[in-house]
């Protein structure tokens, strides 16, 4: 076990390092490993080195699958087949495409968006497509989901879209006549027909097929706030139910009818592994499902080996097996939460916390598990459900012991509608009652706890506190363990003094979202875009960022103008956060006060001044030129936020001699477009730095080279969120500094621009 843990530690260290071990280093390390493996004293070191080498080699191979920059943005012809279930939302389809004969360096798996796609599109179909691709990329922000990591772990080497000209062509002769994806597609269509009249068809499909495409945002919000989202993900609970049921049934049959030479438990365990594997395949054989199957298989293999293997040993063996097959799983929160949950359950039962009555035992167990997992959930998501114990104590038995068995029986008997229909109906009625109860719980104001991301030391102390609190009784008292949770809850951003402030330019793609922090206040200037899929950057980026920073409310929200790339996330923020005041260039539909030149506020020694739009003359201007323009200043430095203004609005600002436009930092107008940041405007502002918010390889080619030259001519340096991730500027008494998220949260799959130093120090303001 120590060697296995050292091996896993080596895997973790390699995958969380800023850079990977290069191939020559891997070769050298392999030679050292062959020498050291013969020396027992070096077993732990050899195991650690083996983990480093295996993870590094695996990751280097995955990176070679990425699309080269030379092919990005070009129209490329690809021939192959559609794989995976197709996600259809709001008139577009998202799919995975596998070129049959990928030509190096073309990746072997693509993620494509297809607008106005044929209705009969299905997995396994052969197509010739004309596509525009770009390397795997995702926004990079504190607290947000790392989409780029997901693409890498899923083996996707490029993303892009299907062009309509030249038109795509269908080639039935290339079809795959049988594939797991094709089978799941047909089953999904069959279930759609069977479940058309039922209210919770989306949840039923999620439970049977791990097909969560039909779950809407309100359902997801209820499940997340109540800590029950794991119920609709095919996980260890589901596969454990299948494996346990098959094991029990097979053992009962074999004991009664099998020859005496057979060992019932061994055969039953083998059948349980096969049954769980078949269910995992039906669920798409995704990475989490594979992990669950390997964990179940480890338990069953212990039975087959007829050796007494302790739970801790089974858990470590399962972990080592999973991360060997899927090293990138060590970067996923799901792996750590699932193994932590099983480990804590073992400790809890070892600690004999179970109450005499079953319902008391269940409630106590779920309560202990929620508290024990809270440090990890706060670290990963900056949020933990406070009502999860109550929600899970009755939702888990209803789902696992009643709803899922009913659905499996309905699926087995679906060829006989008269038998399946009552089962479908009964399961749907049961799910209706359960979801109603969860919705009531989710609406409780204190249903979930939000807290800033804890430091590694605070996280470690809280984990030790959990083990002390719920593990076997070694020390005479348990209650002092609560003190180890205090650093977890007291974590937060570094305090600011009067006159100091921070500005964060978030990476929201082709859009804008900025957060200003002073000592006691927070302002959000623009909220990022909304997409055709229905989601928005207010939900995906701004809200997680505010949670990660430990904020409880937004003191002021400024919506510069109503374009979707700036205002798309506003509805989400207004629904999710208490907002003190709202200002906008167009008050409708936000019930906002209009932005007007001359408005001024003073927060904690920091001045906020609205420089535009001017009243009256801007009425006939374009939406962009009517944008709110805000200047933030203190004795330590200043920032000018210009939203999407262009030459006309910039000229109006220049002619107003009452305004001081000079600023240490300029947030580029209109994402660095050619028609903004005129030479006269940039020369007047005289910024030391310019932060540009634009999308990665966006269709407008922002920022424009001419605009960048104007910044250089004015002596300003610039950074782009598309390359650097979220940008932070700090104005403190120690000086002015900036940081790029792709540098501070360095991962080997990030490309960090050369001009992005780690918390580089700017010149001291006068």
Report d(CA 725, CA 739) in Å as an integer: 10
Report cis status (omega within 30 of 0) of the bond before 546. no
pLDDT at 695: 95
Provide the token pair at 587: 């008050």
- Does position 234 have pLDDT exceeding 80, yes or no? no
User: What is the rounded average pLDDT of the residues 137-143?
Assistant: 94
Report cis status (omega within 30 of 0) of the bond before 599. no
Name the pTM for this structure: 0.89
DSSP assignment string, 530-588: B-TTS-BHIIIIIHHHHHHTT---EEEEEE----HHHHTTHHHHHHHS-EEEEEESS-T
User: What is the rounded average pLDDT of the residues 507-531?
Assistant: 96
User: What is the rounded average pLDDT of the residues 596-615?
Assistant: 93
Contact 8, 323 (CB under 8 A): yes
Half-sphere exposure of 63 (CA within 13 A, CB side): 17
Of 505-509, 651-655, 762-766, where does the model show the most confidence?
Answer: 505-509
User: In the block, which residue shows the tokens 């540098």?
Assistant: 743
- Average pLDDT along the chain: 87
Pick from 639, 318, 315, 309: which is nearest to 500 by CA?
Answer: 639
Report d(CA 345, CA 642) in Å as an integer: 54
**Which three-class secondary structure string do you get for 592-645?**
CEECCCCCEEEECCEEEEEEECCCCHHHHCCCCCCCCEEEEEECCEEEEECCCC
Pick from 396, 409, 407: which is nearest to 236 by CA?
Answer: 396
Beta bridge partners of 601: 608
User: What is the rounded average pLDDT of the residues 690-714?
Assistant: 95
Report d(CA 346, CA 247) in Å as an integer: 21
- Does position 492 have pLDDT exceeding 80, yes or no? no
Beta bridge partners of 691: 667, 719
Element (H, E) at 719: strand 717-720
Beta strands in 312-427 (DSSP E): 383-385
pLDDT bracket for residue 42 (50, 70, 90): confident
User: In the block, which residue shows the tokens 């055969």?
Assistant: 267
**Which three-class secondary structure string do you get for 432-450?**
HHHHHHHHHHHCCCCCEEE
Express each pLDDT in 458-486 by its tens digit.
Answer: 888 988 888 888 777 766 777 788 888 88
pLDDT at 475: 65
Express each pLDDT in 397-426 by its tens digit.
Answer: 888 888 888 988 898 888 888 888 999 999
- Does position 591 have pLDDT exceeding 80, yes or no? yes
pLDDT at 399: 84
User: What is the rounded average pLDDT of the residues 504-523?
Assistant: 97
pLDDT at 238: 80
Percentage of the chain with pLDDT > 90? Answer: 45
pLDDT at 764: 43
Lowest mean pLDDT among 106-120, 308-322, 354-368: 354-368
pLDDT at 51: 93
Lowest mean pLDDT among 16-30, 204-218, 672-686: 204-218
pLDDT at 352: 52
End-to-end CA distance of the chain: 60
- Does position 355 have pLDDT exceeding 70, yes or no? no
User: What is the rounded average pLDDT of the residues 321-341?
Assistant: 87
Phi/psi for 638 (5° steps) reads -150, 155
pLDDT at 354: 46
Element (H, E) at 2: helix 2-15
- Does position 706 have pLDDT exceeding 90, yes or no? yes
Contact 335, 291 (CB under 8 A): yes
Express each pLDDT in 375-387 by its tens digit.
Answer: 888 888 888 888 8
- Does position 561 have pLDDT exceeding 90, yes or no? yes
- Does position 362 have pLDDT exceeding 80, yes or no? no
Compute the radius of gyration of the chain from its Cα atoms.
Answer: 28
- Does position 428 have pLDDT exceeding 80, yes or no? yes
- Does position 605 have pLDDT exceeding 70, yes or no? yes
pLDDT at 396: 84
pLDDT bracket for residue 265 (50, 70, 90): confident
């Amino acid at each position: 076990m120590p060697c296995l843990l050292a091996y896993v530690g080596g895997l973790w260290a390699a995958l969380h390092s800023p850079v990977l071990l290069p191939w020559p280093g891997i070769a050298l390390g392999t030679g050292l490993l062959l020498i050291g493996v013969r020396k027992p004293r070096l077993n732990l070191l050899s195991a650690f080195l083996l983990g480093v080498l295996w993870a590094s080699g695996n990751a280097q191979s995955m990176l070679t699958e990425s699309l080269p920059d030379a092919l990005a943005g070009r129209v490329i012809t690809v021939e192959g087949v559609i794989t995976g279930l197709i996600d259809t939302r709001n008139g577009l389809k998202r799919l995975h495409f596998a070129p049959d004969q990928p030509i190096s360096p073309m990746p072997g798996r693509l993620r494509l968006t297809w607008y106005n796609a044929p209705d009969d599109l299905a997995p396994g179909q052969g197509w010739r497509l004309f596509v525009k691709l770009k390397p795997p990329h995702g926004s990079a922000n504190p607290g947000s989901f790392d989409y780029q990591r997901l693409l890498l772990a899923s083996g996707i080497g490029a993303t892009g879209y299907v062009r309509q000209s030249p038109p795509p062509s269908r080639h039935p002769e290339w079809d795959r006549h049988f594939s797991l994806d094709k089978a799941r597609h047909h089953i999904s269509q069959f279930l759609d027909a069977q479940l058309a009249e039922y209210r919770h068809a989306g949840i039923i499909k999620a439970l049977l097929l791990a097909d969560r495409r039909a779950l809407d945002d309100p359902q997801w919000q209820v499940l997340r706030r109540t800590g029950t989202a794991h119920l609709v993900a095919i996980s260890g609970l589901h596969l454990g139910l299948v494996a346990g049921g098959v094991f029990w049934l097979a053992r009962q049959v074999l004991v009664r009818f099998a020859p005496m030479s057979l060992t019932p438990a061994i055969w039953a365990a083998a059948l349980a592994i096969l049954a769980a594997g078949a269910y995992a395949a039906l669920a798409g054989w995704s990475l989490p499902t594979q992990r669950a199957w390997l964990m179940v298989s480890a338990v069953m293999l212990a039975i087959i080996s007829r050796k007494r293997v302790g739970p801790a040993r089974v858990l470590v063996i399962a972990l080592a097996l999973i991360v060997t097959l899927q090293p990138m799983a060590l970067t996923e929160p799901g792996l750590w939460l699932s193994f932590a949950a099983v480990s804590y359950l073992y400790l809890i039962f070892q600690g004999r916390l179970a109450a005499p009555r079953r319902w008391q035992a269940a409630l106590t167990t779920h309560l202990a598990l929620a508290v024990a997992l809270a440090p990890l959930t706060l670290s990963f998501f900056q949020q933990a459900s406070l009502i999860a114990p109550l929600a899970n104590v009755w939702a888990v038995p209803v789902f696992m012991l009643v709803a899922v068995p009913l659905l499996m029986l309905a699926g087995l008997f679906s060829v006989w509608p008269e038998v399946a229909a009552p089962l479908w109906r009964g399961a749907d009625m049961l799910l209706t009652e359960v979801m109603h109860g969860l919705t009531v719980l989710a609406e409780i104001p204190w249903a979930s706890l939000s807290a800033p991301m804890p430091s590694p030391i605070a996280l470690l102390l809280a984990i030790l506190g959990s083990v002390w609190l719920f593990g076997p009784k070694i020390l005479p008292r348990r209650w002092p363990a609560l003190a180890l949770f205090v650093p977890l809850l007291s974590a937060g951003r570094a305090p600011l003094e009067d006159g100091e402030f921070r500005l964060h330019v978030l990476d929201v793609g082709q859009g804008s979202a900025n957060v200003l922090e002073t000592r006691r206040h927070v302002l959000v200037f623009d909220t990022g875009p909304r997409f055709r899929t229905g989601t928005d950057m207010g939900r995906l980026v701004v809200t997680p960022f505010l949670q990660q920073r430990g904020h409880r409310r937004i003191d002021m929200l400024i919506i510069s103008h109503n374009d979707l790339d700036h205002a798309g996330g506003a509805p989400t923020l207004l629904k999710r956060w208490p907002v003190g005041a709202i200002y906008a260039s167009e008050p409708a539909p936000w019930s906002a006060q209009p932005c007007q030149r001359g408005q001024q506020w003073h927060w904690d020694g920091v001045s906020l001044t609205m420089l535009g739009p001017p009243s009256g003359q801007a009425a006939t201007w374009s939406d962009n030129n009517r944008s709110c323009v805000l200047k933030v200043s203190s004795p330590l430095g200043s920032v000018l936020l210009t939203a999407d203004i262009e030459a006309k609005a910039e000229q109006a600002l220049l002619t107003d001699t009452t305004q001081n436009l000079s600023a240490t930092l300029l947030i580029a107008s209109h994402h660095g477009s050619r028609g903004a940041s005129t030479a006269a405007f940039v020369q007047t502002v005289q910024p030391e730095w310019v932060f540009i918010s634009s999308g990665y390889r966006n269709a407008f080619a922002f920022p424009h080279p001419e605009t960048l030259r104007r910044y250089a001519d004015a002596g300003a340096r610039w950074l782009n969120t598309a390359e650097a991730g979220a940008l932070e500027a700090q104005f403190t008494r120690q000086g002015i500094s900036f940081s790029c998220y792709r540098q501070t949260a360095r991962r080997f799959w990030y490309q960090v621009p050369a001009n992005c130093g780690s918390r580089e120090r700017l010149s001291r303001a006068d």
